[in-house]
Amino acid sequence: MRYIRPQSMEDAVGLLAGAAGPAAILAGGSDLLVRMKGGFVEPELIVDIKAIAGLSDITETADGFRIGAAVPCAVLGENAALKKAWPGVVEAAKLIGSKQVQGRCTIVGNLCNASPAADSVPALVAAGAKAVVAGPGGKRTIAVESVPTGPGKTSLAKGEIIEAILLDKRPPHAGDAYQRFIPRTEMDIAVVSAGVNLTVGDNGVVKAARVAVGAAAPTVLLVEEAAQVLIGSKLDEATLERLAKICSGACRPIDDKRGTIEFRRKVAGVLAKRVAAIAYERAGGK
Amino acid sequence: MNFDPRYSGRSFTSVGTRPIRPDGVDKVTGRARYGADFNMAGQLVGRILRSPHAHAIIRKIDTSKAEKLAGVKAVITAKDLPDLTDGDAAMYDILDNSMARTKALYDGHAVAAVAAIDARTARQALKLIEVDYEVLPHVTDVDEAMKHSAPLINDAIFTEGLEEKPVKPSNVTKRTQYGHGDVHQGFGEADFVVERSFKTEQTHQGYIEPHACVASVNPDGTADLWVCTQGHFVYRQHCAQLLGLEASKLRVTSSEIGGGFGGKTHVWAEPVALALSRKAGRPVKLVMTRDEVFRASGPTSATSIDVKIGAKKDGTITAAEATLRYSCGPYAGMWAEIGAMTAFACYKLENVKTVGYEVLVNRPKTAAYRAPSAPMAAFAVESAVDELAKEIGIDPVDFRIKNAAQEGTRASYGPVYGPIGIGPTLEAVKNHPHMKAPLGTNQGRGMACGFWFNFGGQTCTDLNIGMDGSVSLAVGTVDVGGSRASLSLVAAEELGIDYAHVKAIVADTSSLGYNDMTDGSRGTFSSSMATISAARNAIKILRERAAQMWDISVDDVAWEKGHAVAKGEKHGNLGKLSLKEIAAESGKTGGPIAGHSELVADGAGVSFATHICDIEVDPETGSTRVLRYTVVQDAGKAVHPTYVEGQYQGGAAQGIGWALNEEYIYGKDGRLQNPGFLDYRIPVCSDLPMIDTQILEIPNPNHPYGVRGVGETSIVPPLAAIANAVSNAVGVRMSHIPMSPPRILAALEAERERFSR
Amino acid sequence: MAGVAVSTTINGDHVEYLCQPDETLLEVLRDRLGLTGAKEGCGTGDCGACSVIVDDRLVCSCLVLGAEAEGRQIETIEGMAHGDQLHPLQQKFLEHAALQCGICTPGFLIAAKDLLAKNPDPTEEEIRFGLAGNLCRCTGYDKIVRAVQDAANVMKGA
């Protein structure tokens, strides 16, 4: 086993592309080290990407925000501009694990771990976030929802690294929100979750919407039909009930140690309603 | 023993104060040494290979590849732990649980172990051990295991305690029965009868420190064991017997212990560590991972309980009956029996009958967990009591007060009570401001009672007075939560000196006589009795030395407030001699001054508690939030009230976790699905409110200071208190613990369905 | 497996060690450096007993590789008191009996120190959520929360 801390993205990509055995990318390590401890992975090479310039920064650009792959989730919460623009994304990132874990874990790691229950992913999907992928063949920018393809699986090719997440600049009257259901108040994996991102017109009518549901299918669900219900509405009671019904119906959950099919289905709708109302309020709808 | 243990009604100077514990600074600076914090020269790392199957015959184990791996110093299987138990069935079970002999009986059962130069090598070696299993059908559910069609876990088990001797083997090891009167007649007299069935899932003690030990066996037959345990003398007995060592040659040192709650009253990996050390000829450190702790140590029983209670219109209970089925893991236990004894212990009953069934399942060997077996029985009984009160239309507190046991009541499990605290805790609850506080929407208040026997047992203590007048107290009772502070207070009280001059330690097994383990809430009760006795023996010597210094008869020397005082007019001019002054001269007056005590602390004094809980339920998700919690419990006499409160709060928190979220979840394959703190959900800080406490002091007549055990009872009422609160909040009676959000939501949905039809 | 040479700062002291690539910082602290104050309760970041502060960030040392400590500033429980002067949190934990078995105490103290550094005047709720990554099975957290509140008051006055 080797541990290497490259100084450049080219070196990191080269190391990963050239690795003979299984290789792992280390940013926060909060998933990788747990899997190593449990004997589920035994990488021949660990590539620590934290020394690569720019990967530990959040930068605000003319187009929005660029969040480096090595930025711990705790730092997201400390960035006032990001928190103001994308409160739902930040609150999702800040729900991952404990304070201790948030000091290490990253949203890119959360995305690439490809758990259907990942907290930040529904919020990122709802936000329409994009991932900048560096690899042997150069760089490409893809929608975050195209990264996980199933539990523990991603669309990334050998040697590819997500170097940053991009979030758009916010138009006026826009808001997002995320909630998950957990049995305790902290330290749990989402049993089911929902993220909603809205833009509201001056008249209080929803102009654009994205609705995502987590832990309800092999990957996070982007529920188009739910977004359509919200668009053109003022989130009246009937709309919210329809939203809940559609989100519950979109779920393809499983029974497991964290929850039942019936529970996930029902609560997905409940959370979608609650989250939509918060996003609407944040967008200035109410 | 000429020690008089009776309650004397004395007043106190030190006892009842709240000083800082003697082991405190070490624990806030990281210096305290726990099980895994100790190392020996040349030490190896031990690791255990565990069965992935719930039930399987071990056809063959091939260790040859592992033995050839560089850095591996010993590989052992059950062959290296020959059966020396000589027909002692309980010891045989402990041996078989330490290392499976012919069958793996649960997911996580140890089948082999290695000792290697480092953890990596040990882990690699485990992968090289080849075990040929013949997988058998398994059963993990307590009700399923009782069915005739269930896979048999041990075909040598025929149910004991049946009227007719069974002809077929069974997973039920024993039937027990308690009670008196005629329940049939009693139910005939009842105007109201409530009959309900309940289930509780298996929980783990959840101590934060995994089991850890360092074992060193020498070629001359002597051995040392450093270990986190609730009872190093018991560990010595068990390990010596299983390893064929002489008990006196095995020195066991109890490290600081990072929680036990009953789970460290039992040897698990310690015999394995000793066997590895013996084979390797080097010390071996063996630390369980968290996964191993959950899969292979200590859980409590899963249960299935039926309760029937009848009462007259005026609220008098006429009859009470319960059938209790408790899982024991794959080995015989007496868990249902304890449940059957405790179930109705709070009440004064003319007609009562409880029946317990001990049930084998393919789960880890059940171990004690804080008032073992009592919380589940109390959940069933106290839930039914609340329902019955509702049916009669009487306030649940008044209903319990009307039927509460009192001094002279014959307990449902046999004995006649002395002075007890159930009535006073109920009266205190009735008058508590918590009971009158307003509640909001979807909020409910519940209350429930709990009982625990408490235990005393064999106790040994040394009290040594230094020449500077300071006192060292060596006890054999492991300190799990501040008892060194309490015992120092007791020594200071009895000697009449300042607490600051006493330091208590836990002595190893070679330094003190046999001492029972810290269980049954016996720590402070029994060791304070022995400390008082030892101090009185030391005082006798102090008086003799003072008499010698004054050259008067010892009969003329009394001990008052830390001083020898000459009695009578003829000695009026002699003044006083302090303990310090007498100690300073001890070299010239006969040598060191010490008091020793060995006794069996009888009369532990039963314990009762009543809890109040406010809960809010989210009707859309089934999520619950504990808003307010109050514990009222009888302590007899609170020696160090802060640590008594701590016991009340800690037990309540464990009960809350059990009630709401904690459970062992097994898959269809018989494997434990949640062997970690992520999915075995013990309460986190943000889950709980402050836990208010009210200490009642109804002196135990069998202890000089009136002390009763306080450690366990507080885990008994929460399950029912919370179930009653949920019922009062949203109108559904939860009969399955834990009341996790999916279960509450399902109950709410079923209720809505019922109403919409 | 090639060892990684690491040069770092622990409790203000310069420290050098060689560790395996997959060795955690917790293993390095406990097994190589003899700093056994950080405890392993789970090894998976779920209990907080191994909490340390790395460059002003609270982390679980079981979820950090020893190799990652290169060039960092690490604070452990062993560095919390100044000589014989206990940190106010340590003193208040003793006074309030905020520990029973004490195995979680080093982690709680480190986490509470980090909490008060970032929020000197926390509400009860902020304390409870701030310390939710540290499990205690003995106390029910009541006395821990009170000790942190009391220490915060003392530290504000100082």
Residue of chain C nearest B689, judged by CA positions: C142
Nearest to C103 among B209, B642, B649 (CB): B209
Which DSSP helix (H) or strand (E) runs through B123? helix B119-128
pLDDT of C119 reads 97
**Average pLDDT along chain B:** 97
Model confidence pLDDT, tens digit, residues B541-566: 999 999 999 999 999 999 999 999 99
Q: Pick from C48, C77, C106: which residue ends a domain?
A: C77
Task: Please check whether residue B743 touches A, CB under 8 A.
Answer: no
For residues C11 and C73, membership in a common domain is answered with yes
At residue C126 the predicted structure's pLDDT band, cuts being 50, 70 and 90, is: very high
For residues C70 and C122, membership in a common domain is answered with no
Taking the C-alpha atoms of residue B750 and residue B745, their distance in angstroms, rounded to an integer, is 9
pLDDT of C157 reads 84
For residues A186 and A231, membership in a common domain is answered with yes
Q: Are A157 and A135 in contact (CB under 8 A)?
A: yes
Q: Are B451 and B606 in contact (CB under 8 A)?
A: yes
Q: Pick from B552, B577, B601: which residue ends a domain?
A: B601
Residue of chain A nearest C127, judged by CA positions: A99
For residues A149 and A61, membership in a common domain is answered with yes
Domain count, chain A: 2
For residues C96 and C150, membership in a common domain is answered with yes
Q: 10-residue block means of pLDDT along chain A (286 residues)?
A: 96 96 96 94 96 97 97 97 98 96 97 97 98 96 98 96 97 97 96 98 96 97 98 97 98 95 98 98 91
Task: Please check whether residue C148 touches A, CB under 8 A.
Answer: no
pLDDT of B579 reads 98
Cα–Cα separations (whole angstroms), residue A260 to A246, B67, B730: 19, 46, 21
Return the residue in B208, B626, B631, B674 with the most chain C beta carbons within 10 A, the one to mutate for interface testing. B208
Between chains, do A30 and C67 touch, taking CB under 8 Å as contact?
no
Model confidence pLDDT, tens digit, residues B458-501: 999 999 999 999 999 999 999 998 999 999 999 999 999 999 99
Task: Please check whether residue A256 touches B, CB under 8 A.
Answer: yes
Domain that holds residue B580: 24-32+456-601
Model confidence pLDDT, tens digit, residues C64-88: 999 999 999 999 999 999 999 999 9
Which DSSP helix (H) or strand (E) runs through C115? helix C105-118
Residue of chain C nearest B692, judged by CA positions: C142
For residues A149 and A243, membership in a common domain is answered with no
Phi/psi at C88 (nearest 5 deg)?
-50, -35
For residues A12 and A31, membership in a common domain is answered with yes
Q: Pick from A132, A147, A168: which residue ends a domain?
A: A168
Residue of chain C nearest A41, judged by CA positions: C22
Q: Are B621 and A181 in contact (CB under 8 A)?
A: yes
Taking the C-alpha atoms of residue B225 and residue B233, their distance in angstroms, rounded to an integer, is 11
Between chains, do A101 and C63 touch, taking CB under 8 Å as contact?
yes
Model confidence pLDDT, tens digit, residues B658-707: 999 999 999 999 999 999 999 999 999 999 999 999 999 999 999 999 99
Q: C touches which chains (3+ CB pairs under 8 A)?
A: A, B
Between chains, do B687 and A185 touch, taking CB under 8 Å as contact?
yes
Chain B neighbours among C 16-55 (CB < 8 Å)? 20, 30, 35-44, 46-47, 49
For residues B400 and B535, membership in a common domain is answered with no
Taking the C-alpha atoms of residue C11 and residue C102, their distance in angstroms, rounded to an integer, is 22
Phi/psi at B660 (nearest 5 deg)?
-105, -40
Q: What angle is formed at CA B599 by the lines to CA B593 and CA B602, rounded to 5 degrees? A: 140
For residues C8 and C46, membership in a common domain is answered with yes
Chain-centre distance of CA B354, in angstroms? 23
Structure tokens given for C51: 């909490």
Residue B377, pLDDT above cutoff 60 = yes
Cα–Cα separations (whole angstroms), residue A97 to A209, B407, C140: 28, 52, 21
Helices (H), chain A: 9-18, 32-37, 73-77, 80-85, 87-93, 99-102, 107-112, 120-127, 224-230, 237-250, 261-282
pLDDT of B144 reads 98
Domain that holds residue A271: 174-282
Taking the C-alpha atoms of residue B375 and residue B368, their distance in angstroms, rounded to an integer, is 12
Model confidence pLDDT, tens digit, residues C23-52: 999 999 999 999 999 999 999 999 999 999
Domain count, chain C: 2
Phi/psi at B438 (nearest 5 deg)?
-70, 155
Between chains, do A38 and B622 touch, taking CB under 8 Å as contact?
no
Looking up tokens 């560089």 gives: B70
Note the maximum CA span of chain C: 52
Q: Pick from B585, B601, B617: which residue ends a domain?
A: B601
| pLDDT above 70: percentage of residues in chain B | 100
Looking up tokens 């109804």 gives: B698
Residue B163, pLDDT above cutoff 90 = yes
Task: Please check whether residue B90 touches C, CB under 8 A.
Answer: no
Model confidence pLDDT, tens digit, residues B601-640: 998 889 999 999 999 999 999 999 999 999 999 999 999 9
Taking the C-alpha atoms of residue B490 and residue B475, their distance in angstroms, rounded to an integer, is 13
Closest CA to A69 of A83, A82, A51, A84: A51
Between chains, do C57 and A103 touch, taking CB under 8 Å as contact?
yes
Task: Please check whether residue B668 touches A, CB under 8 A.
Answer: no
CATH of the domain at A220: 3.30.390.50
Mean pLDDT of B143-164: 96
Nearest to C132 among B24, B652, B684 (CB): B684
For residues C103 and C143, membership in a common domain is answered with yes
Asked whether residue C137 is assigned to any structural domain, the reply reads yes
Asked whether residue C83 is assigned to any structural domain, the reply reads no
Task: Please check whether residue B627 touches A, CB under 8 A.
Answer: no
Taking the C-alpha atoms of residue A234 and residue A181, their distance in angstroms, rounded to an integer, is 25
Residue B1, pLDDT above cutoff 60 = no
Q: Pick from A144, A168, A192: which residue ends a domain?
A: A168
Between chains, do A99 and C46 touch, taking CB under 8 Å as contact?
no
Q: Pick from C77, C101, C131: which residue ends a domain?
A: C77
Taking the C-alpha atoms of residue C19 and residue C16, their distance in angstroms, rounded to an integer, is 10
Task: Please check whether residue A109 touches C, CB under 8 A.
Answer: no
Residue of chain B nearest A261, judged by CA positions: B742
The 10 Å CB-count burial string (b at 16+, else e) for A183-218 is: bbbbbbbbbbbbbbbbbbeeeeebbebbbbbbbbbe
Domain count, chain B: 2
Q: What angle is formed at CA C72 by the lines to CA C71 and CA C75, rounded to 5 degrees? A: 145
Taking the C-alpha atoms of residue B79 and residue B99, their distance in angstroms, rounded to an integer, is 9
Q: Pick from B601, B632, B656: which residue ends a domain?
A: B601
For residues A35 and A86, membership in a common domain is answered with yes
CATH of the domain at C114: 1.10.150.120
The 10 Å CB-count burial string (b at 16+, else e) for B337-352 is: bbbbbbbbbbbbbbbb
Structure tokens given for B14: 């030190």
Taking the C-alpha atoms of residue B690 and residue B686, their distance in angstroms, rounded to an integer, is 10
Q: Are B483 and B523 in contact (CB under 8 A)?
A: yes
Mean pLDDT of B197-209: 98
For residues C97 and C134, membership in a common domain is answered with yes
Question: Helix or strand or coil: residue B40?
Answer: coil
Chain-centre distance of CA A45, in angstroms? 26
Q: What angle is formed at CA A45 by the lines to CA A43 and CA A50, rounded to 5 degrees? A: 110
For residues A180 and A231, membership in a common domain is answered with yes
Domain that holds residue C150: 88-157
Between chains, do A100 and C132 touch, taking CB under 8 Å as contact?
no
Asked whether residue C35 is assigned to any structural domain, the reply reads yes
Between chains, do A270 and B621 touch, taking CB under 8 Å as contact?
yes
Question: Helix or strand or coil: residue B442?
Answer: coil
For residues A154 and A262, membership in a common domain is answered with no
Residue of chain B nearest C96, judged by CA positions: B642
Question: Helix or strand or coil: residue C7?
Answer: strand
Between chains, do B208 and C142 touch, taking CB under 8 Å as contact?
no
Q: Pick from C77, C99, C128: which residue ends a domain?
A: C77
CATH of the domain at C15: 3.10.20.30
With 0.90 as the threshold, say if the pTM is over it.
Answer: yes
In a 13 Å sphere around the CA of B305, the CA atoms on its Cβ side amount to 36
pLDDT of B123 reads 96
Helices (H), B605-675: 641-660
Q: Which residues lie closer than 8 Å to B436 by C-beta, 6 or more apart?
A: none
In this structure, the dihedral spanned by the alpha carbons of residues C98, C103, C105 and C108, taken in order and rounded to 10 degrees, is -120
Residue B654, pLDDT above cutoff 60 = yes
Q: Which residues lie closer than 8 Å to B283 by C-beta, 6 or more apart?
A: B40, B41, B42, B43, B44, B214, B215, B216, B277
Q: Pick from A139, A168, A197: which residue ends a domain?
A: A168
Taking the C-alpha atoms of residue B582 and residue B576, their distance in angstroms, rounded to an integer, is 10
Task: Please check whether residue B272 touches A, CB under 8 A.
Answer: no
Asked whether residue C82 is assigned to any structural domain, the reply reads no
The 10 Å CB-count burial string (b at 16+, else e) for B268-297 is: bbbbbbbbbbbbbebbbbbbbbbbbbbbbb
At residue C1 the predicted structure's pLDDT band, cuts being 50, 70 and 90, is: low
Nearest to B29 among C1, C81, C134 (CB): C81
For residues B364 and B249, membership in a common domain is answered with yes
Asked whether residue B522 is assigned to any structural domain, the reply reads yes
Q: Which residues lie closer than 8 Å to B241 by C-beta, 6 or more apart?
A: B84, B85, B88, B91
Q: A touches which chains (3+ CB pairs under 8 A)?
A: B, C
Model confidence pLDDT, tens digit, residues C136-153: 999 999 999 999 999 999
Between chains, do B685 and C125 touch, taking CB under 8 Å as contact?
no
Taking the C-alpha atoms of residue B303 and residue B46, their distance in angstroms, rounded to an integer, is 35
Q: Are B329 and B153 in contact (CB under 8 A)?
A: no
At residue B573 the predicted structure's pLDDT band, cuts being 50, 70 and 90, is: confident
Task: Please check whether residue C69 touches A, CB under 8 A.
Answer: no
Model confidence pLDDT, tens digit, residues B730-757: 999 999 999 999 999 999 999 999 888 7
Q: Are B295 and B50 in contact (CB under 8 A)?
A: yes
Helices (H), A113-202: 120-127
